[in-house]
Structure 1
């Protein structure tokens, strides 16, 4: 199997995940900044591999499978790290619930997409604005929370901003998931599809 440049970038993104975990817990000066840099680098490869695949026509079946898996892993692993470091009190509850909503939505919609593909009803894919907005909010929130996960007193305000942005991303996650479910609902009921399905985020 030939692995092209975009797929190598996707594999690199997956390889960065254990690096981020180690740096996140390794208590050296600036480890939080370093962990955030690793996360941002992974996010950049997410954009770059898709851009190169389209620009250079370097698409492949393996790359099409691996790219969304790498995206979901990146977000899920980061959320698990933040939840584990955020235990105790209502802030911990809010963080855990938000993470569960985001990860649960990704699992549910991924299962729905797989089923739609199996019955041959996923021919047209469009990107919705709500999905893009959710992704932007989510990435900014995760970067802020990684940097400030130790919640130092002088940076508490910035940490709360990250929490708020993640909650907003959670709400948008539900919204986009319901949007996708609504589009697929006629097919789930056994009716002919009334409009094209919308894939909110990649």
Structure 2
């Protein structure tokens, strides 16, 4: 197994660890979760660059890379929903899109065709990563209100505003997720017609 594929598998392994750190409450757990998520996101940056730069692109990597991204981001969104920091409708939009695209991807793989991630799919992943990292940073900062910042007089609106902005970023990512999903299905329309 080549290095890019190992990095992709590492991202798969980091997803449940990240979710555990996100949900398990201890001092600086959002920071720990954020660092884990950031490390996993870096594997997404490097696996593709290394694969293309060294001529190590494989069908396995093309198939697993977007699935690893989905596992990581879905873990984050489920964690945020469980903590009340994400709207259920946004999670349902994202999960519906991911289920649809993964189903098409599996059908394509069954037919011997591997469909790599599109530019809109990559943009979707970047937006999701940014929204998640921002929300983790905001949650960590807000947790300091009763700790590091306990003696500092900061307005309630500051903390509320940080979390509201995080939700807005997630909404934007959710909309882009749906758009990229429809584009993915559209790009695969010829294959889907052949499969009928």
TM-score, normalized by length of structure 2? 0.78
CA 1:124 to 1:190, structure 2 compared with 1: closer, same or farther past 3 Å?
closer
Task: Trace 1:108-187 onto structure 2 (pairs within 5 A).
Answer: 108-119=100-111, 122=113, 127-128=118-119, 130-149=120-139, 153=156, 154-185=158-189
Decide which of 13, 17, 20 is 1:19's aligned counterpart: 17
Aligned to 1:53: 51
Question: Which residue number in structure 2 is paired with residue 40 of structure 1?
Answer: 38
The residue that corresponds to 1:101 in the other structure is: 93
Q: Which structure has more RCO (C-alpha within 8 Å, separation ≥ 6)?
A: 2
CA contact (8 A) 1:17 1:74 kept: yes
Q: Are the aligned partners of 1:10 and 1:70 in contact in 2 as well (CA < 8 Å)? A: yes
Q: Name structure 1 gaps, 5 residues minimum.
A: 192-202
Cα deviation for residue 126 of structure 1 reads 7.4
- The match for 1:195 is none
Identify if the C-alpha distance between structure 1 residues 109 and 168 changes in structure 2 by more than 3 Å, giving closer, same or farther: same
Q: Deviations over 1:59-107 (max 9, x none)?
A: 3444333322211111111111111001xxxx75xx2111111121011
Cα deviation for residue 167 of structure 1 reads: 0.5
Does the CA contact (< 8 Å) of 1:141 and 1:162 recur in 2?
A: yes
1:85–1:149 contact (8 Å) kept in structure 2: no
2:81 is aligned to: 83
* Distance in 2, Cα, partners of 1:117 & 1:22: 32
- Aligned residues between the structures: 181
Residues 181 and 127 from structure 1, CA distance in 2 versus in 1: closer, same or farther, beyond 3 angstroms? Answer: closer
